Structure 1
Amino acid sequence: MNLVFEALSHPVRRQIIQRLKRGPQSAGELAGMFDLTKPTMSTHFAKLKKADLVSTKRDKNTIIYSLNMSILERALAELIDFGGDKNDE
């Protein structure tokens, strides 16, 4: 789960996740949101994929990214569990 939290720690990657909540997007569509170089965007995509937050599908020369909601839900559950029960104090 550390990879997930590391991936979510960067604002650009969080914005990519927000955009993917609307549905699958091509790498080009997502990259068009930012004034960043292709290598920088590739690094962000790779970190999201390594954390299993996104999945990819190739359509000819285009890479389509989709959000893996189950990983986000698990991360949220872990954060909630980490907070503990206020009655434990």
Structure 2
Amino acid sequence: MLSNIYKALAHPVRRDILAILRSGPRLSGDLADRFEMSWPSLSRHLAVLKDADLITAERQGTKILYRVKTSVVEDAAAALLALAGTRPAQDETDGSENALSDIPPNPESEE
């Protein structure tokens, strides 16, 4: 499972999608408006994130609502920090902060 998560986090567009979803659920059309790429390309990025269990997708009529699975993202960030040897102290995060909140979105994909 971790290899799927690392693969998903390896691409800057997927990290940007996660950054957008951290602020709240978004409809597929809202996400498409944020990126200058074809819908099939964005859909593939969303599928990789979904396969890694980092996001959920809920169909609402003809639209799809995407949400970040915060606990999975936090676990992945903790695993990455552990690999780097920089695990945050438990009392610093108290378990309630988003472990990826300090990672800025990729400015190249923002308009």
Deviations 1:15-41 (A, max 9, x none): 110000110001110011111011101
- 2:43 matches 1:42: yes
Distance 1:84 1:8 in 2: 19
Letter in 2 for 1:8: L
Partner of 1:78: 79
More helix by share: 1
Letter in 2 for 1:29: D
Aligned to 2:67, the other structure's residue is in SS state strand
Distance 1:69 1:13 in 2: 15
Partner of 2:26: 25
Distance 1:34 1:27 in 2: 11
Q: Which runs of 5+ in 2 are unaligned?
A: 87-111
- Give the TM-score, by structure 1 length: 0.89
Aligned to 1:58, the other structure's residue is in SS state strand
Alpha-carbon RMSD across the aligned residues, in angstroms, is 1.2
- Deviation, 1:81, is 2.0
Partner of 2:64: 63
Letter in 1 for 2:11: H
Deviates more, 1:76-85 or 1:22-31: 76-85
Q: Which runs of 5+ in 1 are unaligned?
A: none
Deviations 1:47-82 (A, max 9, x none): 000001100111111100000011111111212222
Poorly superposed stretches of 4+, deviation over 2 Å: none
- Give the TM-score, by structure 2 length: 0.72
Report how many residues are paired. Answer: 85
